[in-house]
């Protein structure tokens, strides 16, 4: 079966959209404002307890990844021809921060009360490898002077 760029983008865009919707839903359910409360809470904890540069770095990377997932959801649904670069750039951060591209995995594992760290890491690596491979297997085709991939 030949992968089409359009279908690959819609699938991964749907996964990112699910992540964003779930992120917003969980925050609202807890009476929190997404991103704003994260920044406020982090500032309070950091000023009270400190923790050094590593904690600040992880927080900043996490915020940037979450914002980039919002952007990638939009770019993927729009099937932007150069979205591969953006998607590939996210992969190391997803691996580092344990945020799988197949965003239903954490939800399913939580619903099944499954918390094996080895299994979670295997799913994470599988998720990112699958995403990478799906974009590698699609081919670029020039269409009317702009990048369009089919």
Q: Note whether residue 32 is domain-resident.
A: yes
Give yes or no for residue 145 having a pLDDT over 50: no
- Owning domain of residue 10: 5-139
Which pTM was predicted? 0.83
Average pLDDT taken over every residue of the chain? 87
Query: SS3 of 141, please?
Result: strand
* Domain count of the fold of the chain: 1
> pLDDT digit string (tens) for 111-144?
888 778 888 899 999 999 999 999 999 864 433 3
d(CA 126, CA 36): 32
Q: Note whether residue 63 is domain-resident.
A: yes
Q: Note whether residue 150 is domain-resident.
A: no
Q: Note whether residue 108 is domain-resident.
A: yes
Q: Note whether residue 146 is domain-resident.
A: no
Sign of CA dihedral 108, 113, 45, 33: positive
């Amino acid at each position: 079966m030949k992968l089409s760029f359009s279908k690959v983008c819609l699938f991964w865009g749907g996964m990112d959209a699910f992540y964003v919707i779930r992120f917003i839903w969980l925050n609202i359910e807890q009476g929190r404002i997404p991103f704003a409360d994260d920044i406020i809470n982090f500032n309070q904890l950091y000023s009270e307890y400190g923790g050094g540069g590593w904690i600040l770095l992880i927080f900043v990377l996490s915020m940037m990844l979450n914002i980039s997932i919002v952007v990638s959801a939009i770019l993927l649904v729009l099937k932007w021809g150069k979205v591969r670069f953006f998607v590939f750039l996210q992969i190391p951060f997803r691996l580092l921060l344990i945020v799988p591209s197949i965003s239903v995995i954490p939800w399913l594992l939580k619903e099944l009360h499954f918390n094996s760290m080895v299994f979670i890491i295997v799913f994470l690596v599988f998720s990112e490898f699958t995403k990478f491979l799906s974009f590698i297997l699609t081919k670029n085709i020039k269409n009317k002077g702009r990048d369009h991939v089919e």
